[in-house]
Structure 1
Amino acid sequence: MSTRFTTWLSMLFIAILFCALVLLNNQLLSAYRVDLTENKVYSLSQGSEQILTEIDEPLNLYFFFSDKAAKNMTTLRNYAARVQSLLEEYAERSNGKIKLHILDPEPFSEKEDKADQFGLTAANIGTAGEAVYLGLGATNALDDQQVIAFFDPQQERFLEYEISKLIYQLVNPKQVKVTLLTDLPVGGGQNPMTGEFEQPWTFYTQLQQLYVVDKIASDATELPKGTDVLIVAHPKNLSEELLFSIDQYVMQGGRALIFVDPHNESDQMSMLTGAGMGANSSNLARLFDAWGVDFDPQYVLLDAYAGLDVRTQTGDVARHFGFVGLSPNELNATDVTTSNLDLINGASFGIFKKSPRSGLRWNDLIHSTENSDLIDSAQYAQTREPLALSQAYKSDNKQYVLATRLTGNVKSAFEQPPEGIQSETFEQKTKDMNVILVGDTDLLSDRFWVQQSSFFGQTITTPFANNGDFVTNAVENLAGSNALISIRSRGTFARPFDKVEQLKLVAEQKFREQEKILQQQLDETESQLSQLQEQQGEGGALVISSQQQQAIDDFMEQKIQIRKSLREVRHQLDKDIENLGNLIKFVNIVVAPLLLVLLLMGARRLLRSRYNPNKAFSVAKEGQA
């Protein structure tokens, strides 16, 4: 009786001790966390923590998630929990500067009105078509607002970057100033070739809508003061003073987006003046040499796989190996500037190579396919027919870098300021260089990525490629702080079920085989029916023999059976996945705890058998006897 009482008392003591330890952990140890995930998805990177230290005023974050409306959406609820956990980590690390509000915007509630005030997007993905919110609104002490309209689970790897960018923009609400250095007719005006008036280039219009843009030409001697991001497009014959100004801008931590080109298809002035070969190429050789970048404007990229179809002079359609469309396979999926893009079109790309003496870190953003070759730019300029380019093409079976990001330590291209230039400060090196290089300028022109149409006197532009998105993404990223730019893509918290994916692939293969058989039989039947129609006389009725009617009936019956088998394949797939899920649940809920209990019982028996006080006492007593 006393033994049973002792057992119950021990269990009660363990329960009280457990509750006390949980309470102690929540009250005293909540600030201490250990992230044991492989990619540290629940921890903040160093860049995010640095942004949090720069907060000088209280911020309010309002996380909106339709918890009740998404009751049966397991995947979305798991991702919402992931977002909320990360937001709580931001609030915990901010030393009280961030106050997090968790809101469930139910229909016709004040919380839903608040979500609408922030302009959040509601997705109609509920079981009954109800609106589901999963977004973030934020304000600072001056009532400036920033929002993430909807957290897309497909963009999970950039979740931390998007939240840190929102906080950074609230802490630094001033408008970004962009300086565009170019002689290209991006502002529109009269075309010297045709005499017609042209609209401003779409990418330039988009920049003006988002930022304060100051456009200067190559005859300038210095960059405007207060430039946050410098865009250099097709630089040619820049003066020593302007080169020095660009160099010092980079040495002082300025960010630049530079477009160079071995052959610009849109350089109208070079075509008009009839300048020699190479006159419509661009380069920044002096700066590139100092940065350890090899860019030879004498070579143009040909890509057989990424080539675009164009209409020839004879009216036919042919693939142009010099006009390329770069898909997600050729874009860096881990860099925020190119991760969400589907297509970038360009022409006559030049390539970048890293010099052995370069000490910079290269993060390639765009590359060619392995079906690529290089051709002399002069030969390319003289070859107008796509067929002639394809005949000159010989694959190198290698990828070429078409756009890259340079970061790290670098020395100035100037040992001292040029003679006659008064400079208040002269920086000989920098540790914070951040420059993006692109080997094409044609991707900026409208004809490669937008289609224009007139609608009641207004010009409507419809993009068919993401060239403009690439430019705005790059500018937005470069306009951030070093801490924000340093935040790279993170891993995902959802781990793949390899066995489930394998089952899907097997079932999908069966489905495709059955589908192929059905399609072949459909084609054969259509061929038989067309032959019967040909046998029909003009104005006569179509007569089908009993044998032909029986064949058609047999096929229709077979068609029904094959469709039934297709449904069975899909059903079997779902059944196999369900059985696998039940097995995993059974192992986790029943087998694993049972094995743990048996293991503990075995360990207890082993310890008691090794040291038994009663047995030890009896052995000692026998020894005395």
Structure 2
Amino acid sequence: MQKKIKRKTENYLKVSLGIISMALGVYIASTLFYRVKIDLTDEGMYSLSKGSKALLSKLDSPLRLKLYYSKTAANKGTEGLRAFNNYFLYVHDILKEFVAHSRNNLTVEIIDPRPDTEDEEEAEAYGLKRFHITETERYFFGLVALSDSGSEKVIEFFDPNKRDGLEYEITKLIYSVLSPQKKVIGVLSPLPIVQDDVSPYMAQLMQMQGRPMTQSWPIVNLLREFHEVKNLGRETATISGIETLLIIHPVGLSDQTLFAIDQFVLQGGKLLVLIDPHAFTGAPANAPPSPMGGMPLNTSPDDKFRKLMDKWGIVAMEGAFAGDKYLSAMGRVSEYDPPARLLPLMVCNRRCTEAFKDPMTRGLEQLTFFFPGALQAQTIEGVTVESFLSTSDKGSTYEVYPHELADPRIFWNKMEDGKTPVVMGMKSFGKFKTAFPDGVVITNTDKDTKKTTTEKKTGMLESTKDAVVVVIADVDFIAAQFAFKQTFLGLTAANDNSTLLLNTLEALNGNVDLMSVRAKGHVNRSFEAIEAIEFEADRKTEKKAMEINGNIARFEQELTELSKQANQDNMALIQNESLKKKKALSRKIVALKKELREVKREGRERVEFVGKIFQFVNTLLMPLVVIIFGIWFLHFRKRKKILEISTLDSEQIVEQSL
């Protein structure tokens, strides 16, 4: 009896000590270790990257963040609007992470702007986007950063669709407040990429007058958020007052401009060049047709610019286009044609970048290129050349003739799968030598007298300090139709194309903090097995479709030849022959279409089979694990109970013997 009472007292004591220990542990965790957090997400969505932490460590003065969120209005709104509450909680959690790493230099204030209040007036004055829910209720969801020096920057609206880029947007906001002085980027291009800023009033006035109004490309407007953009046009005598030079589609540049570029690099300048074997975006609409027919190729670089690239150790393969059937994207040649895989339209994922582990491409999951070119490295003493962007191992090169541009589907059968990646992006650094050892002769024409004079310019023969040149073999990837998309909030990034350009410029400028934050993107959880099945089915489908189209083309050609032979004497015979051929072709097309349906069905069934396996695993495997664990736990408890009974019996036997 005493043993039972003693055991009962021990149990009560253990429970009491357990409760006290738990309470003490919670108190210690909430006071001493409140900053200790574990982020179990693959993307690290609740943690800050090294770039953000490095930027916060540079904060040496207080910075206030004012988060405006109309929570009351959202709760009164539709179900879709109330869903923003979850995103608001996520934004708040990320802001708390920024505060925790700011060494008490960052504060966050949460404001729910109600109608007819000072908070609402402030939100409107800061320029935050507002949405009318009712006649009186307005919805705000934005952030304002204020420094003691008077700098003020805003995020007009938090879009839940840009969740992956939230940390970058906030870091960019803080960076813009800390660094109001922007670095200067010079843009040199024969394309109308950079235009003078026009006020809305002037734009409306020009439109009313019927005057042509050209705007800068959207990528330029994005560049202006971080840098001061200086338009050098297509001709310049000297290049100065800029940190980095961006050359887009170098073709038709004068010797004077080429010499200025050469000297800029030799002086330690940083250069980014975008070339293209066929710049679709910049192709002139009124260009004369090619001798072979069709639109001529809009190729860069030309022979003059190639001489500069030779000194940098980077060679643009002439007439070669980079292709990869496993990275090809679906598209339409026209609105009447069915979707098909187009070899020129390449969507690069981590397979294009992960082998190089370069900070410029780290974290980029979706890059869209159109008719990209191929690059090769050549050995230059004192110069190091590295690749940072390529196709997959199955990539190869193919040729394009002008008359083939009207139908990109024909390139599919022209290219065979390769065994080594085709490089599309290279960087070169070191001490370069000039491409103009004898200088350059400049011809000047006087505007008044029309007299021409010549002048010989000489400069540096070799760079005295390291310079950097980056070359990407595509121009179209920064164009609006390939890099941006229109949403109800305006123009926004459609993929990682703009990120690649910004990353490269910031790497050249030495600003690695923002670059490392931008590289932190979503994790691509695509099923490669399913993608491979769909790809093989598409390849077979494409082959059958081309066979059908080829038969139709041959039939039309035969009918044309028969019609040429027709006259009054053999008209009936020709018509009868044409009818027979048409029936034979119809039967053949029906058989081919049946095979086409079979190929599609087999591919679909294989994908569905894989899906059923995953469904089986999800629905049966986890319950099976729970059952096995339950059986083991039951067995463990029974065994423990048996041991306790045997121990108690042995104790009683010992007591009786004593």
Q: Given the superposition, is the C-alpha separation of residues 155 and 10 from structure 1 closer, same or farther in structure 2, using an over 3 Å criterion?
A: same
Of 226, 230, 244, 1:214 maps to 230
Match of 2:260 in 1: 242
Task: Pick one of 198, 203, 219 that aligns with 2:217.
Answer: 203
Please tell me the residue identity of whatever aligns with 2:265.
D
Q: Of residues 345, 370, 373 in structure 2, which corresponds to 1:350?
A: 373
Residues 604-615 of structure 1 correspond to what in structure 2 (within 5 A)? 605=641, 608=644, 615=650
Shift of 1:172: 0.8
CA contact (8 A) 1:187 1:199 kept: no
SS at match of 1:297: strand
How far apart in 2 are the matches of 1:48 and 1:306?
37
Match in the other structure for 1:182: 189
Partner of 1:144 in structure 2?
A: 151
Determine whether 1:163 maps to 2:170: yes
Deviation, 1:484, is 1.0
**Pairing 1:374–2:389 present:** no
CA deviation string 1:376-420 (max 9, x = no partner): 5xxx35x4883799599724357999996656x843433999685
Once the two structures are TM-superposed, the CA of residue 167 in structure 1 deviates from its matched residue by 1.5
Once the two structures are superposed, residues 313-342 of structure 1 have per-residue CA deviations (whole angstroms, 9 ceiling, x without a partner) of xxx999999996677999999999998999
* Residue of structure 1 in register with 2:99 after alignment: 91
1:52 to 53, 56, 81: 56
- Structure 1 residues 269-293: Cα deviation after superposition (integer angstroms, max 9, x where no partner): 9979x99x99963155466557664
Give the secondary structure class of the aligned counterpart of 1:360: strand
The 2-side partners of 1:440 and 1:205 are apart by 12
Query: What is the percentage of aligned positions where both structures have the same residue?
Result: 19
Match 2:430 to one of 401, 411, 429: 411
The whole-number CA distance in structure 1 between the counterparts of 2:494 and 2:32 is 52
Deviations 1:525-565 (A, max 9, x none): xxxxxxxxxxxxxxxxxxxxxxxxxxxxxxxxxxxxxxxxx
Contact 1:125 1:131 in 2 (8 A): yes
CA distance in 1, matches of 2:346, 2:408: 22
Residues 341/616 of structure 1: CA separation in 2 closer, same or farther (3 Å cut): closer
Query: Partner of 2:501 in structure 1?
Result: 474
Pair 1:263–1:320, CA change in 2 (3 A) = farther
What residue number does 1:428 align with? 466
* Structure 2 residue 425 is matched with structure 1 residue 396: no
Secondary structure of 2:399's match?
A: strand
Q: CA deviation at 1:49?
A: 1.6
Q: Please say if residues 178 and 231 of structure 1, whose CA atoms lie closer than 8 Å, have aligned partners that are also in contact.
A: no
| Contact kept in structure 2, 1:417 and 1:426, CA below 8 Å | no
The CA deviation at 1:92 is 0.7
Q: Matched residues in 1 for 2:423 and 2:158: separation?
A: 29
Alignment of 1:101-500 (within 5 A): 101-122=109-130, 133-184=140-191, 199-200=213-214, 202-203=216-217, 207=221, 212-216=228-232, 220=236, 222-228=238-244, 230-235=246-251, 236=253, 241-248=259-266, 254=270, 256-263=271-278, 281-282=300-301, 284-285=305-306, 288=309, 293-299=314-320, 309=333, 349-352=372-375, 360=386, 362-363=388-389, 374-375=398-399, 380-381=401-402, 383=403, 386=406, 390=410, 394-396=414-416, 410-414=429-433, 421=459, 426-428=464-466, 435=470, 437-440=472-475, 474-475=501-502, 478-479=505-506, 481-490=511-520
Distance 1:447 1:490, change over 3 A: closer
Q: Structure 1: 5+ residue runs without aligned partners?
A: 190-195, 451-462, 497-576
Letter of the 1:386 partner, please give it. A
CA deviations over 1:107-164 (Å, ceiling 9, x no partner): 55544444333333356799x9975544322222223222233333332222222222
In structure 2, C-alpha distance between the alignment counterparts of 1:241 and 1:160, rounded to whole Å: 42
**What's the offset of the Cα at 1:608?**
4.6
Query: What's the secondary structure of 1:486's corresponding residue?
Result: helix
Match of 2:576 in 1: none
Task: For 1:151 and 1:103, locate their aligned partners in 2 and report how far apart those are by CA, in whole Å.
Answer: 15
The Cα offsets for residues 55-104 of structure 1, whole Å up to 9 and x where unpaired, read as 23221122334445555778644433332222211111111121122333
CA, structure 1 residues 399+162, in 2 after alignment: closer, same or farther (shift >3 Å)?
Answer: farther
- 1:300–1:375 CA contact under 8 A, matched in 2: yes
Q: C-alpha distance in 1, partners of 2:33/2:122? A: 34
Provide the rounded CA distance (Å) in 2 between the counterparts of 1:448 and 1:489.
20
* Amino acid across the alignment from 2:430: K
Distance 2:190 2:57 in 1: 42
Amino acid at match of 1:203: W
Say if 1:619 and 1:24 are closer, same or farther in 2 by CA, change over 3 A. same
What displacement does 1:170 show?
1.4
The answer (yes or no) to whether the contact 1:337–1:470 under 8 Å persists in 2 is no
Aligned-CA RMSD value: 6.2
- CA distance 1:112–1:22, change in 2 (3 Å): farther
Contact 1:135 1:150 in 2 (8 A): yes
CA shift digits 1:27-66 (9 cap, x unpaired): 2222333333333332222222211122232211223344
Are 2:364 and 2:496, in contact at CA under 8 Å, matched by a contact in 1?
no
In 2, the alpha carbon distance for the partners of 1:597 and 1:385 equals 69
Deviates most, 391-400 or 221-230: 391-400
Partner of 1:532: none
Describe the SS at the equivalent of 2:374: coil
1:22 and 2:26 are equivalent in the alignment: yes
Q: Report deviation, 1:165.
A: 1.5
**How many Å separate the matches in 1 of 2:154 and 2:420?**
38
- The aligned amino acid for 1:167 is I
Q: What does 1:3-42 align with in structure 2 at a 5 Å threshold?
A: 10-42=14-46
User: Alignment partner of 1:80: what SS?
Assistant: helix
Task: Return the match for 1:63 from 63, 67, 86.
Answer: 67
Matched residue, 1:568: none
Distance 2:435 2:418 in 1: 40
1:216 partner SS = strand
Number of aligned residue pairs: give it: 494
Letter in 1 for 2:373: G
**Which whole-Å CA distance do the structure 2 matches of 1:373 and 1:177 have between them?**
37
After TM superposition, the structure 1 = structure 2 runs for residues 581-596 of structure 1, keeping only pairs within 5 Å, are none
* TM-score, normalisation: structure 1: 0.58
Q: State the match for 2:541 in structure 1.
A: none
Q: Distance in 2 between matches of 1:306 and 1:494?
A: 19
Q: Tell me, in whole angstroms, the C-alpha distance in 2 between the residues paired with 1:597 and 1:324.
A: 59
- When residues 310 and 448 of structure 1 are mapped into structure 2, their CA distance, relative to the original with a 3 A threshold, is farther
Give me the whole-angstrom Cα distance separating, in 2, the residues matched to 1:118 and 1:592: 60
> In the TM superposition, what is the alpha-carbon distance from 1:179 to its structure 2 partner?
0.7
